[in-house]
Chain A
């Protein structure tokens, strides 16, 4: 796309600049030869206007020799050659125009006194052309960076979309296999428990699949989902796992991405309670704190063993928070006195720019 022809405003500016150049030429011939304004303008302005479209051809030179991939010498030589040719042609055109004007309208414009003028015009034409080349190069560079900016932006958007998709919370497959194994085990000796497990598992799976497709659910729903998950795990771990959830009614309607807490409660069981012979309690507390909602998941863990394998789940939560709320959300992790505590702080109203 031609950077000037393709843009109305630039095209108008371009022609205005060249008519001013023509006016300058008129002023010059008036000063040099004492011609009246009418004759000087009749000569200069059309000469300027005729140069305007011609100078647009500089674009093809710029396009054939992009700055980044062409040597300065080659650009200089080509541009100078083209400038000389264009300047000569323009000067010749000027001579012909002068003759025409002298023959028809202004009989006081004798050609023989003006020979010096056409040499000056050749120089001016060449300079004008070189200027046009420079302007086109500048525009080309601007065009290139604008394109790069747009591509970078498109790339960022695509990347964020992909990230959100990949971060869409999923239920750990181990959980399914372990739950099925528990059902198999309970089937023989405790059919009632087996039935409870089947029903809880079905409810959790149905809700997590349905809600997982939403972009936002209420915190009340999210906490309930975590409770359902822990309800299934309680059958598996028996008395070793206890669960306590506290949801401040004021925080119930806060909008969160679905299954945001899932990696946290999975970790709380797998790397927390399950590492202890006697087990322990997983606690989920959600409340309002000023303009933010505070969600805290705590669990005991075996302080003698370094926690490992929790990084991925934590990372997913952190990145989902960032992708959803920008830097308005925060996650703080604390491991002290054999208690693991993850605190999420999220804004009450998600900002439009980050709405997923």
Chain B
């Protein structure tokens, strides 16, 4: 992208005056086009999939889907600049991960610098949301819900409704309520975020919610299979069986 091309930007904030502030600041910067204003995370995900913007100015504290949820859902597609009021905790995380962030109230000059950075770096400006979230979370915090993007729609699944997680090439599949929802993530990331007392890596490709486990059967030497309460059978590796035994 060249300097002269106009940068298409989405503004996301649940507070109307805060959106106005950003919109006004954007209006002072040349070669910027405001393509959407969103009042929550759902609207943001929808707008990103519909308009494919060049940058998202994203508020952190929002209802239902916060800025991190949104980043997790769209971060791989589009550079995100966080906008937040005074939060040392967040600032530290952003510094560590070199994602740009702005403090409210945002001056047009500072906003311009951030957008210049987006232009210069292109899509590599955002670091993986999961890393950011890990840096933000306190020790002992575990993931309580999973947000999955399905085109313009967002699914929020409480983790206790997940039966198991399955590795599928570049994706992981969350099995819940008889269907599988795919998310672009690695098994290691999912395993690290979930409560280790509830989810066990029973196999290289399977992470099991132990509450769904009915029994484990031996079907060949050193080969076991986990039978779930709904009858589903999943392979259990030797080390997976050890982990399972440790937990139970």
- Flag if B20 contacts A188 (CB, 8 Å): yes
Chain A's nearest CB lies how many Å from the CB of B40? 6
With a cutoff of 8 Å between Cβ atoms, the chain A residues found around residue B144 in the complex are 305-306
Interface digits, B201-212 against A, CB 8 Å rule (1 contact, 0 not)? 000000000000
With a cutoff of 8 Å between Cβ atoms, the chain A residues found around residue B64 in the complex are 275, 277, 302, 304-305
Secondary structure at the A interface, as helix, strand, loop or mixed, is: helix
With a cutoff of 8 Å between Cβ atoms, the chain A residues found around residue B86 in the complex are 173-174, 177
Chain B's nearest CB lies how many Å from the CB of A354? 35
Given A174-B86, A177-B104, A236-B15, CB of A277 within 8 Å of CB of B20: no
CB-nearest residue of chain B to A278: B63
With a cutoff of 8 Å between Cβ atoms, the chain A residues found around residue B105 in the complex are 177, 180-181, 183-184
Is B156 an interface position by the 8 A CB rule?
A: yes
Partner of B17, one of A185, A270, A277: A185
A162-189 with Cβ < 8 A to chain B: 173-174, 177-178, 180-189
Is B145 an interface position by the 8 A CB rule?
A: yes
With a cutoff of 8 Å between Cβ atoms, the chain B residues found around residue A185 in the complex are 16-22, 24
Alpha-carbon separation in the docked complex, A41 to B132 (Å): 96
Is A274 an interface position by the 8 A CB rule?
A: yes
Alpha-carbon separation in the docked complex, A306 to B156 (Å): 14
Alpha-carbon separation in the docked complex, A87 to B119 (Å): 101
Given A275-B63, A304-B145, A306-B144, CB of A177 within 8 Å of CB of B103: yes
Is B87 an interface position by the 8 A CB rule?
A: yes
Alpha-carbon separation in the docked complex, A304 to B158 (Å): 8
- Flag if B63 contacts A237 (CB, 8 Å): no
Given A185-B17, A306-B144, CB of A174 within 8 Å of CB of B24: no
A interface list, Cβ under 8 A from B: 173-174, 177-178, 180-190, 193, 235-238, 240, 270, 274-277, 302, 304-306
19 contacts between A and B (CB under 8 A): A173-B86, A174-B85, A177-B86, A178-B18, A181-B17, A182-B17, A182-B21, A183-B105, A184-B17, A184-B24, A185-B16, A185-B19, A186-B20, A189-B20, A238-B16, A276-B63, A302-B63, A304-B156, A305-B145
